[in-house]
């Protein structure tokens, strides 16, 4: 079965959905292909810290009402080390900006509703996705759904299908310029039924390893501790997990984490990845298909938003008959913000994690950096500016 559209989008994550909605508002049609079922992408609980520019974008696009009702606006974060907690006042240091704690799967739920409300087709549960003729002016996407073969003929393909999707692999390996850093640790994450332990996120560094204390709802909390990426959740009983959390967050002020029933456990790897070849012919990459960050800096979804703001504008310029320079310069423009986000995520990760096999001088460097951040307004302001998010980039 053959279909035609202007932009074929692979992936119904934040990048693909947001791109489709942005294009619709500019009169440009799209079709989205997604491997998973709708219930899976809306029901898989994922972290979500939204930068100030991302929050403003969602509000401007008319998809931020539930976020504003149910999300948690935070004006600061805490850095905990040496038995003490230190607050970084994001709001004061950035001239009134803040972050929003609103899980990624909720953003997806809101965007799916908006995209379907636009009359756009989302094909859930597809398989065998292949990209064809991306070097031509009429590329296509072939796939199967319920055993039936389909083809989408389009003007452009947007690869928003994540690190393991087929889009990046459709760019010849000989021309792909990629960079990868794998960190020698992972994060052991839990979801638990408990009241919030803190009004703001806590980033804790200790000799036993890193901890992040976050929240999801008034009754569900999300927390992580640094672990061996090859470890297994089967090695960690609930009692052992809480003992480890308490040991790593113990301080002189008597504050303690609030415990509750743990109903989800998982280990995630830590890596930095950038594919600088974000376009090839009529194929354009956005979001996790082009870049991955360690979660320490809370940048993943926000970098994807920056990508699609640029890409949607460049495609709109094409259809308005304007210059094609924005399309030609999409990758170069997007990479400015991507590399800034990648560096900040690396900075936060190396400042807060102790790695096996390090020499003692590296650990002292880490403590010196933490001391500097909490004692220098300039250093705190730099962290705050990056954490709340830099403005979305314009064309190069």
pLDDT at position 253:
86
| pLDDT per position as a tens digit, 264-274 | 999 999 999 99
Enumerate residue ranges in the chain where pLDDT < 50. 396
Residue 218 lies in a domain: yes
Asked if 34 and 116 sit in the same domain, the reply is yes
pLDDT at position 396:
46
| Given 102, 143, 203, 224, the catalytic residue | 203
Q: How many domains does the chain have?
A: 2
| Given 280, 299, 330, 353, the catalytic residue | 299
Computed over every residue of the chain, the mean pLDDT equals 95
Asked if 219 and 251 sit in the same domain, the reply is yes
Strand partners, 202: 78, 213
The dihedral built from the CA positions of residue 319, 325, 327 and 328, taken in this order, carries a sign that is positive
Asked if 118 and 23 sit in the same domain, the reply is yes
Give catalytic status of residue 143 as yes or no.
Answer: no
| Given 102, 105, 295, 330, the catalytic residue | 295
Q: Report the 10 Å Cβ neighbour count for 222.
A: 22
Give catalytic status of residue 179 as yes or no.
Answer: no
Asked if 124 and 266 sit in the same domain, the reply is no
pLDDT at position 281:
97
How far apart (Å, rounded) are the C-alpha atoms in residues 103 and 111?
Answer: 13
Beginning with the edge strand found earlier in the chain, give each strand of the sheet holding 72-74 in spatial order: 49-50, 99-101, 72-74
How far apart (Å, rounded) are the C-alpha atoms in residues 203 and 224?
Answer: 10
Which backbone phi and psi does 281 adopt, to 5 degrees? 60, -125
Give catalytic status of residue 59 as yes or no.
Answer: no
Give catalytic status of residue 336 as yes or no.
Answer: no
| Given 24, 52, 53, 74, the catalytic residue | 74
Do 139 and 90 touch, CB atoms closer than 8 A?
Answer: no
Helix (H) or strand (E) holding 19: helix 14-24
What pTM was computed for the model?
A: 0.95
Task: List the domain range (segments joined by +) for residue 196.
Answer: 180-271
Residue 75 lies in a domain: no
Give catalytic status of residue 387 as yes or no.
Answer: yes
Buried b vs exposed e over 180-201: b needs ≥16 C-beta within 10 Å? eeebebbbbbbbbebebbbebb
| pLDDT per position as a tens digit, 44-94 | 877 789 999 999 999 999 999 999 999 999 999 999 999 999 999 999 999
Residues composing the chain:
396
Asked if 267 and 306 sit in the same domain, the reply is no
Asked if 195 and 259 sit in the same domain, the reply is yes
Place of tokens 């994060």: 187
Residue 166 lies in a domain: yes
Asked if 162 and 184 sit in the same domain, the reply is no
Residue 373 lies in a domain: no
Asked if 15 and 148 sit in the same domain, the reply is yes
Residue 325 lies in a domain: yes
């Amino acid at each position: 079965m053959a279909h035609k559209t202007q932009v074929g989008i692979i992936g119904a994550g934040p990048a693909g959905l947001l791109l489709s909605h942005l294009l619709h508002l500019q009169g440009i049609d799209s079709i989205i292909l997604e491997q998973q079922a709708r219930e899976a992408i809306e029901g898989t609980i994922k972290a979500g810290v939204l930068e100030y520019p991302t929050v403003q974008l969602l509000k401007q696009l008319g998809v931020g009402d539930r976020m504003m009702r149910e999300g948690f606006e935070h004006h600061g974060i805490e850095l905990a080390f040496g038995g003490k907690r230190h607050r970084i006042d994001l709001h004061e240091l950035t001239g009134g900006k803040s972050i929003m704690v609103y899980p990624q799967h909720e953003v997806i739920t809101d965007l799916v509703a908006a995209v379907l409300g636009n009359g756009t087709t989302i094909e859930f549960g597809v398989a065998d996705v292949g990209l064809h003729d991306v070097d031509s002016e009429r590329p296509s996407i072939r796939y199967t759904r319920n055993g039936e073969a389909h083809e989408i003929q389009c003007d452009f393909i947007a690869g928003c299908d994540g690190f393991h999707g087929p889009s990046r692999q459709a760019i010849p390996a000989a021309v792909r310029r990629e960079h990868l850093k794998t960190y020698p640790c992972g994060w052991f994450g839990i979801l638990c039924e408990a009241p919030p332990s803190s009004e703001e996120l806590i980033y804790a560094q200790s000799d036993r390893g890193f901890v992040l204390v976050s929240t999801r709802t008034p009754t569900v909390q999300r927390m992580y501790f640094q672990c061996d990426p090859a470890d297994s959740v089967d090695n960690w009983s609930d009692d052992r997990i809480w003992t480890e959390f308490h040991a790593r967050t113990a301080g002189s002020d008597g504050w303690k984490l609030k415990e509750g029933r743990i109903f989800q456990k998982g280990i995630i790897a830590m890596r930095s990845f950038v594919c600088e070849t974000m376009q090839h012919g009529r194929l354009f990459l956005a979001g996790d298909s082009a870049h991955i960050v360690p979660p320490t800096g809370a940048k993943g979804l926000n970098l994807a938003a920056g990508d699609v703001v640029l890409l949607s504008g460049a495609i709109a310029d094409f259809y308005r008959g304007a210059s094609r320079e924005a399309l030609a310069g999409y990758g170069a423009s997007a990479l400015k913000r991507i590399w800034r986000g990648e560096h900040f995520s690396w900075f936060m990760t190396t400042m807060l994690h102790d790695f096996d096999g390090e020499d003692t001088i590296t650990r002292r460097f880490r403590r010196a950096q933490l001391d500097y951040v909490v004692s220098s307004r300039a250093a705190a302001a730099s962290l705050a500016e990056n954490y709340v998010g830099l403005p979305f980039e314009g064309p190069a």
